[in-house]
A and B are shown apart, each in its own frame.
Chain A
Amino acid sequence: MIEVNNLHKSFVSKKNTVKALDGLSFTAKDGEITGILGPNGAGKTTCLRTLYGLLRADEGYATIDGIKVTEEPIKARKLLGIFPDKFGLYERLTAYEQIDYFASIHGMKGANKHAAIEQILIDLEMTELAHRKTVGFSQGQRMKVTLAQALVHQPKNFVLDEPTRGLDVMSTRILRNHLAKFKEKGHCILFSSHVMQEVAALCDRVIIVSNGKLAAQGTPQELCDLAGEKQLEEAFVKLIGSDEGVAA
């Protein structure tokens, strides 16, 4: 379970101050897929970075399965599988070596580790890529490697920052099925996306962030009802456009 409580975060530079988070709170429960929506610059990535412990909130806190990220970052990160907004590959390693590297960092070893890596390679349909050096991989292939390294240790909680950008239809479907499986097993999945159909199809709950604050939350249907629209996209535009009466 991921809990975010009253997060405030400002970036101060010489010229100006940007308030990225302004009292954001939400909860992503176990056994649910929680979508986090928001326009560009709404504070999604800042919020997720605070979750990983890369940034420190000015106020408020984030917990992962009850562990405060700021206090025990390493313990908290052990419970996380992360797909960051910016990612790169170690281009001199093969895909297999890179996944192996992250699995080892998460404390996996021996036959267990190899079985897990083989499994994730099969699950993401990337066995053919496994022993190639990652230099020259296409965007989709790079995404797959990054996803594999986030999922290989089967973390209790997933944080995925736009995991489907650049994936082809087949890969997106594989990923969706994969996430659905993890959900059934009781994992907590938090992911951000700009694709409304995907969010509507996949998410049990949706959190809409705007200007660093929670603009609305609920099931996709509840959000549509709240905004009085049929499509989630329309509802989203309406909800972030006016925060009157919907900041529930």
Chain B
Amino acid sequence: MMQLKALMVKEFKEAFRDRRALMVAMSMALLMPVMIMVMLKVAIKEAVDNPAVYVKYSGEQHAPKLIEALKDENILSFSDVPKDEERNWNERNIELTIPDTFAADMAAGKPIELTLRADYNEKSLSTPIRRIKDVVNQHSLAIGYKRLLVRGVDIKLLQPIKLLEQDTALPSSNAMMITLILGVYLMMAAFMSGLPVAIDSSAGERERNVLEMLLCQPVSTLKIVLAKLSCASSISIISIILMLVLTSIAMNFVDLTKIGATFSIDAQTFVILLLLLIPICFLAASLQLLFAFQAKSFKEAQSTVTMLIMAPSFIPFALMMMDDKPAWVEWMPISGQSLLMEDVFKGLPIDWNALLFTSVATIVLTVGLVLILAKRLTSEKVVMSLS
């Protein structure tokens, strides 16, 4: 116990005195809230604003008031399109044809047929088309109402039923994307923050010839591994706590309700996220140590261990692509946590059984890796690559 304490004290002293590695570890935590905030701002702007739409009119001179009404909704003529967007809107090719007889038919009270031509299957056109339709219908209704009004008819008669709409849909795709990115980012922080410390205390110590001396001492390799593991994972735990605190502060500066998301980091979410991520920190540190001890040099360790970044970033995306998820992904390390995090961000109630299972699975895997590593450190191969 005393040995373990001495080993740990030394690891922590070294880690906290290595300011550069510590800065790298914490930089993810510091950058993340800023990134999330900027992304949310952009997403909200896109969702709420009415970007300009350019329509190829023919016969626009016949219906100046309609064109004016369209203009009010930021639907403009193709002749006004800025140079850099010209190619795009030419390809999208939305055409609105106004017949020559528009003014005459309007005066005569005859029905008028406008033609809207566009590729209705094109996804990016659905919003512009909807907006054009809305304006034309509104304009048409307004004229109709006025006609009735001047004839002394109450226009309420035309609306016997009024439908009030309440949207309970899941957050829009933008909001989903952001919560997914938040999840991946948290996972990556848990995975990567301890990395510089893990490499330094394994491959680094070997390169500085201090590992050989330590391995000659009367101390079990298990204790050595545990000390290094607890140090590296503590750094990542500190990093994710910092990240969560800063993110929850940053979230106060953006109005998520505008895009239909209702995500906030309250005390309970905070605790659940920590419960999910702490086992990941341990798993990540053990994987990093295993790979770093395997490598022949500090440089090799850096490149191979960085490959581990694949795990936390790839698995959540793979899960998103899977439509029918097999049961085991719910309790597998990393995938289980990322599914649960998705639930948390959607505001769904947490499945405590799944949380327990996936945490236990992660911890079991970590223990396995630690034992393998402790065994490997007694082997000659590790010693031989010392020299």
Contact = CB atoms under 8 A, between A and B. Distances in A.
A231 to B, nearest CB: 33
Contacts of A100: 6
Nearest to A89: B210
A88 B215 CA distance: 13
Contacts of A176: none
Interface in A74-92: 74-78, 80, 82, 84, 86-92
Contacts of A87: 209-210, 212-213
A11 B384 CA distance: 9
Nearest to B13: A93
A129 B217 CA distance: 24
Contact of A105 (B13, B209, B219): B219
Given A89-B210, A101-B10, A107 B216 contact: no
A76 B219 CA distance: 11
B213 to A, nearest CB: 6
A39 B2 CA distance: 42
B216 A84 contact: yes
A162 interface: no
B369 to A, nearest CB: 23
A78 B13 contact: no
A137 interface: no
Nearest to B10: A101
Given A88-B208, A90-B14, A82 B386 contact: no
Contacts of B105: none
Interface residues of A, number: 34
A58 B201 CA distance: 31
Contact residues on B (Cβ < 8 Å of other chain), bracket: 20 to 34
Contacts of B219: 74, 105
A93 B386 contact: no
Nearest to A94: B13
B18 interface: yes
B17 interface: yes
Interface string A92-106: 110001001110111
Nearest to B211: A88
A5 to B, nearest CB: 20
Interface in B12-65: 13-14, 17-18
Interface string B189-224: 000000000000000010011101101111110000
A159 B210 CA distance: 17
A91 B207 CA distance: 13
B165 to A, nearest CB: 63
A56 interface: yes
Nearest to A72: B218
A236 interface: no
Contacts of B380: 54-56
B218 A104 contact: no
Interface in A84-134: 84, 86-93, 97, 100-102, 104-107, 109
13 contacts: A53-B216, A54-B215, A54-B216, A54-B383, A78-B218, A82-B213, A87-B210, A88-B210, A91-B208, A93-B10, A101-B9, A105-B7, A105-B219
Given A93-B13, A105-B7, 7 more contacts: A53-B216, A87-B209, A88-B205, A89-B208, A101-B9, A105-B219, A107-B3
